[in-house]
Amino acid sequence: MLLGLGAVSGLAGKSVTKALIMTVCGLLLATIGIDNVSGIGRFTFDIPWLYQGIEFLTIAVGLFALGEVFKTILEKEEEDTQMAKINNLIPSKEELKESAAPIVRGSFLGFFIGILPGAGATLASFFSYILEKKIAKDPSKFGKGAIAGVAAPESANNAASGGAMIPLLTLGIPGSGTTAILMGALMMYNVQPGPLLFEDHPQVAWGLIASMFIGNIMLLILNLPLVKVFAKIIQTPKRYLIPIIIAISIFGVYAVQVSIYDLLLLLACGVIGYFLNKHDYPIAPLVLGLVLGPMVENNLRRALTIFNGDFGPFFTRPISLGFLIMTVLWLAIPVVMKMRGKNVVINEEA
């Protein structure tokens, strides 16, 4: 879980410092509510609404969806130019050559991010796009139809869906919001995801894996004839699209806990999300910190209870030590590379 937080903080945004700030904010928000062990309210200020903690969906929808809505309204972005016509669905040899490396990179990155608990396909696409933009010879092409900017995130999205199944089926830890819903559905039928799933319910486990293959084939069959229809959705005028997004966001958040306070928090998160975007503070680390915070805390307490409060096993056991070293590297490498780049510029100027 620390590796997941470290990976997101190391990749997200232009500044590792800002990404770490957002990660810590997410972890702090995750502490709000009644403590599962002691039963004491933390940061609730005697407000009953906060006893259950802050709802993840409210924060995510507010920061991502309403944040973009406020950005579109306040900055009055110009309408996009006319969309290019889709004449041929099969890529040319030149396009295949240009997209081959991004597809491979996106697939590997998406798969491993999908394995990280709480990351999911959306973050995999997000990081894949950032990676391609950083290593591209001409980053200015991104946002203007660069093939790498489409091929890599889509490959990462598909790979992460399969990767997210690994922690769910083997450890009983949902790797994304979708797998969390799937885990709830399995538990409703008395099927407990985890190490014994393949032994106790092999038909469910292997049936689920088979469904991934069938789903990809069906996706291919449906997408090829309908891609032109999907592309038309992009041309929906903003004056119609924005009210629809706001309505879906409000109804979706209100339906979870049926609370007016959630709607007020949703609007507040929308405003905060707009200012965070404007000042280049990445939102993804905050959301992941909110998801993984309770898991980190509960498992840390469980481990310390087993080892009588000794932190030593975290650093002496090879698996945990390996994950901690990888976490430090995820955070340190971007900082070192940035400092090295600055030194090169200073030396060239000198």
174: left (phi over 0), alpha (psi -120 to 50) or beta: beta
Report residue 33: phi and psi, to 5°.
125, -170
Q: What is the pLDDT of residues 89-134, one digit of tens each?
A: 677 788 788 888 889 988 998 888 888 765 667 778 877 888 888 7
Per-residue pLDDT tens digits for 241-280: 889 889 999 998 888 888 889 899 999 999 999 999 888 8
Q: Around Cβ 88, how many Cβ atoms within 10 Å?
A: 7
Task: Give the pLDDT band of residue 220 (cuts 50, 70, 90).
Answer: confident
Per-residue pLDDT at 87:
66
Per-residue tokens: 23: 């990660």
The two tokens of residue 268 are 């507040």
Distances (CA, A) of 141 to 81, 136, 146, 148: 16, 9, 6, 10
The answer to whether the predicted template modeling score (pTM) of the entire model surpasses 0.85 is no
Tally DSSP H helices, then E strands, for the chain.
16, 2
Specify burial of residue 268 (Cβ count, 10 A radius: 0-12, 13-18, 19+): middle
